[in-house]
Structure 1
Amino acid sequence: MQLSIVIPLLNEEESLTELYNWIVSVMQSNSYSYEIIFIDDGSTDHSWKIISSLSSTNPAVKGIKFNRNYGKSQALHAGFLEAKGDVIITMDADLQDNPEEIPELYKMIEEQHFDLVSGWKKKRYDSVLTKNLPSKLFNAAARKTSGVKLHDFNCGLKAYRRNVIKNIDVYGEMHRYIPVLAKNAGFSKITEKEVKHQARKYGKTKFGIERFLNGFLDLISIWFLSKFGKRPMHLFGALGVLMFFFGFMAASWIGLSKLYKMYHGLPNILVTQNPWFYISLILMVIGTQFFLAGFLGELILRSKREKDRYLINKTTGIS
């Protein structure tokens, strides 16, 4: 199969049929073999009813319905597990992503041999204050921190080679950083393509300004995990040893100083009256805690087991 179109959604009943017809038109005009995977992330409208109807009329349509709203990352994770295509395209269900971009994205993966192509909505039809400006700041921070030179990490329209999505784990709220996850997994051929952005036709956005705060926090997480996720002892153990060493040296200096003064009959004060006593004690205690944190992190990594991150309520068109 050439293409898998993975579409996470939440309460998009008004746009689904139009989006489906548009995608099918593009697939047929280019003679692609394809599947469309809708992931209903806990919709409370008639989205699932529409998906089920589309699946019953077209076997290429598959649907996954979550038991409740788990978030876009979990929806993409479920879609990636099901995808059978050689090239996987992700897009949003709100008609702001243009299906006419799919053939060019497909060619960039298959003919130019990129691992991942990310859409870049250079011209946007969103609010400048609540979306455009925060998005520019967020993308600049993401480029600087991750080293992945993309203009638009948030664009939902992306294309992936099959082995990319089968070898990365999209969790938490990390869907924004799939290119970074791919880079960390060794897929270095990452580029971007300028794509058309369309104004929302139906309903309202499901994301508020808080997504940018969450995005920055996730950016810190992914930076830490890329640096120390496989070896937490390298960070916590090193910090712990360093702090304990300085604390021990300070305590030794206090002890030797007290012995020296006692031997020469010099005025002396109680150890507990010396502020360096408490500084050295705190350093040794915190150093020990850091070391134990790194040690426990190593044990957890070696013994962790995969757990279900979401509960699927229904599926359609999936064998």
Structure 2
Amino acid sequence: MDVSIVVPLFNEDESLPELCSWIESVATTHQLSYEVILVDDGSTDDSWKVIEEIHQHNNRFRGIKFQRNYGKSAALNEGFKAAQGDVVITMDADMQDSPDEIPELRRMIVEEGYDMVSGWKKKRYDNTFTKNIPSKIYNAAARKSSGIMLHDFNCGLKSYKRKVVKSIEVFGEMHRYIPILAKWAGFRKIGEKVVEHRPRKYGVTKFGWNRFVNGFLDLATIMFLGKFGKRPMQFFGLLGTVFFLIGFIASIYLVIAKFTVADFALTNRPSFYIALTTMIIGMQLFLTGFIAELVARNASERNAYLVEKKLD
């Protein structure tokens, strides 16, 4: 199969018929063998009824329905599990992503050898204050911390080699940083394509200001897990040792001063309590590292590694 198109959706019953008809037209025109996986993330409207009707018309359109709303990351993760195409393309269901981009996104994977290609909505129609400004901040922080030079990490329109989506797990709100997940999994040929961003035709945006905070927390999480997920002691142990040594050295200095300086009131000095607190924090961080190592060593996937090739 040439391509799998994964479409996560939530309350998009108005846009689905037009979107699916457009995808079908593009695939037919370019003679692509395809499947479309529509993942209903617990919609409360008639989205699932529409999906069932579309499936009856064309069984290349498949559906997955969540019992409740889990979020876009969960929808993408289930869609990736079900995808069977050589190239997997993701797009949003609100008609702001154009299906006309599908052939070129696929070509860049097949002919140019990219592991994944991320869309860049260079010209946007979103509200500047609620979407554009937070997006620019996230993207700048993500580029700086990951070394991946993409303009728009959060663009829903992306294409992947099948082995990429089968090698990563999208959880929490990590759909924003799938390129970083792919890089940590060993896929480093990541490209970018300017794509059309269409004005919203149906429904309302599902994103608010809460993503401003969540985006940075998710970025910090993914960078930590990527670097220290299998060796947490290297982070907590180092930090704990530094804190403990600072507090210990300060305590020794104060104790020596107690016996060498006249009228030196040790327990009346704030620096004494700061030094003790620093030592306690250091010990707690060190113990956190030990506990994290125990958890990591007993995890079921502690020795799960991605093997690209093997000669026997």
TM-score past 0.5 threshold: yes
Deviates more, 1:242-251 or 1:111-120: 242-251
Tell me, yes or no, if structure 1 residue 100 matches structure 2 residue 100.
yes
CA distance in 1, matches of 2:276, 2:208: 46
How far has the Cα of 1:191 moved from its partner?
0.8
- The secondary structure found in structure 2 opposite 1:88 is strand
1:16 is displaced (CA, Å) by 0.6
2:153 is matched with 153
Alignment match, 1:286: 281
Following the alignment from structure 2 to structure 1, what is the Cα–Cα distance between the partners of residues 223 and 162? 25
For 1:76-115, what aligned pairs fall within 5 Å after superposition? Answer: 76-115=76-115
- What SS does the corresponding residue of 1:14 show, helix, strand or coil? coil
CA distance in 2, matches of 1:157, 1:212: 21
Partner in structure 2 of residue 135 of structure 1: 135
1:207-246 aligned at under 5 Å gives the runs 207-246=207-246
Aligned-pair CA distance for 1:210: 2.4
Range 268-277 or range 115-124, more displaced: 268-277
Q: 1:244 to 1:161 in 2, by over 3 A?
A: same
User: How do 1:1-319 residues align onto structure 2 when only pairs under 5 Å count?
Assistant: 1-258=1-258, 261=260, 267=262, 271-305=266-300
Q: How many residues align?
A: 301
SS of the residue corresponding to residue 84 of structure 2 reads coil
Point out which structure has higher relative CO (alpha carbons under 8 A, 6+ apart).
1
TM-score (norm 2): 0.91
> For 1:67 and 1:215, how far apart are their aligned partners in 2?
26
Aligned to 1:314: none
Q: Report the counterpart of residue 305 of structure 2 in structure 1.
A: none
Distance 1:180 1:18 in 2: 32
The equivalent of 2:309 in structure 1 is: none
The 1-side partners of 2:257 and 2:213 are apart by 51
Structure number with larger C-alpha Rg: 1
Hey, what's the Cα distance between the residues in 2 that align with 1:153 and 1:91?
13
Partner SS for 1:279: helix
For the residues of structure 1 that align with 2:202 and 2:73, how far apart are their CA atoms? 23
Shift of 1:226: 2.6
Amino acid in structure 1 at the alignment position of 2:295: I
Q: What amino acid does structure 2 have at the position aligned with 1:100?
A: D
Unmatched 5+ stretches in structure 2? 302-312
Q: Deviations over 1:241-294 (max 9, x none)?
A: 1222222233333444445x4xxxx74556433444323321221111000111
Q: Per-residue displacement from partner, 1:106-128 (whole Å, max 9, x unpaired)?
A: 01000100000001111112222
Q: Is the 8 A contact 2:16 2:93 kept in 1?
A: yes
Aligned-pair distance for 1:141? 2.2
The amino acid of 2:123's aligned partner reads K
Task: Using the TM superposition, give the Cα deviation of residue 295 of structure 1 relative to its aligned residue in structure 2, in angstroms.
Answer: 1.2
CA drift of 1:132 comes to 2.3
Deviations 1:221-241 (A, max 9, x none): 222223323322111101111
TM-score normalized by the length of structure 1: 0.89
Q: Tell me, which stretches of 5 or more residues in structure 1 are unaligned?
A: 307-319
* Contact 2:257/2:264 (<8 A) preserved: no
Distance 1:56 1:199 in 2: 30
SS in 1 for 2:15: helix
Give, in whole Å, the separation in 2 of the partners of 1:287 and 1:153.
36
Q: In percent, how many aligned pairs have the same letter?
A: 60
Counterpart residue type for residue 298 of structure 1: E
- Computed over aligned residues only, the root mean square deviation of the Cα atoms, in angstroms, reads 1.8
Report the residue type matching 1:189 in the other structure: K
CA drift of 1:136 comes to 2.2
